[in-house]
Structure 1
Amino acid sequence: MATLFTRIINGEIPAEKILEDEHYLAFLDIRPIRPGHTLVVPKREHDYLFTLDDATLAGLLPFAKRVVPAIEKVTGCLRVGVMVAGLEVPHTHIHLVPMNAISDLNFALARESSAEERAAMGRSLRAALAQ
């Protein structure tokens, strides 16, 4: 059975997509730690970051890096933190979390966001990417 993220990639489950190419997808987390919290996934379903093939692994961070300036601009954060937990969904993913302090990288801070909040953030991030 396909993972939740594969179903998002395939368009079976809606998501607020920020950036996409033929190999990767960046979309907003529905339970963000902070507004702008974005997930980046390879489109090919694979469970564990460190068993990805070298080409996919090598492309993941450069793709994520393309999203970071938009997150910084829209959220006004000092930095974008990167986390790889890898247990929530069995599909390799990295978390891009706007942060002003190390304490901001805390899953206990996550809260459900509304579709309207995600849509507004998505519009802002895509507009910043287009500049």
Structure 2
Amino acid sequence: MTLFSKIINGEIPSYKIAESDKFYAFLDVFPLREGHTLVVPKTEVDNLFDLGDEYLSELLVFAKPVAKAIEKAFRCNRCGISVIGLEVPHAHVHLIPINSSNDLNFTQPKPKASDDDLKKVQEKILSQLK
């Protein structure tokens, strides 16, 4: 079982942003930028592009209102999306408020956010999620 499956199952605590029967969105505890959110399919697949076509398209549709809420909650030009998939062998996308392409540079340090900061970020995004 992957780390993300344990988070989805509630075995590891997370800062949930949204959930459906197929997907789970939660804050990255090692964010590149404030508001960095992960969107994960509940099905365990290592490579995002191994998901079926319909499931893959549904993931983007699920992520859209989360991305729009991030854009409203933080000062940014847009919500960027990135697929790296090397850290955890469970397909996922990163939603990150960005002002430049460097804001999506995963070689930058990613310090662990405090619980207080993560709760504030969670509240900001949830307040914008309709």
Same fold (TM over 0.5): yes
- Alpha-carbon distance, 1:53 to partner: 1.5
For residues 18-57 of structure 1, the C-alpha deviation after alignment (integer angstroms, 9 at most, x for no partner) is 0111110110001000000000000111111111122211
Does structure 1 residue 58 correspond to structure 2 residue 50? no
Query: Residues of 2 paired with 1:17 and 1:28: CA distance?
Result: 7
Query: Residues of 1 paired with 2:75 and 2:67: CA distance?
Result: 11
- The match for 1:115 is 115
**Normalising to structure 1: TM-score of the pair?**
0.95
Query: Residues of 2 paired with 1:109 and 1:98: CA distance?
Result: 16
More deviation, 30-39/66-75: 66-75
Task: Give the secondary structure class of the aligned counterpart of 2:86.
Answer: coil
Query: Residues of 1 paired with 2:29 and 2:88: CA distance?
Result: 13
- Alpha-carbon distance, 1:109 to partner: 4.0
- The match for 1:39 is 38
- How many pairs are equivalent? 129
**Normalising to structure 2: TM-score of the pair?**
0.95
For residues 76-104 of structure 1, the C-alpha deviation after alignment (integer angstroms, 9 at most, x for no partner) is 21111111001110000000011001111
Unaligned runs of 5+ in 2: none
Work out the percentage of aligned pairs sharing the same amino acid.
Answer: 50
Which amino acid in structure 2 is aligned with residue 94 of structure 1? V
Query: RMSD of aligned C-alpha atoms?
Result: 0.9
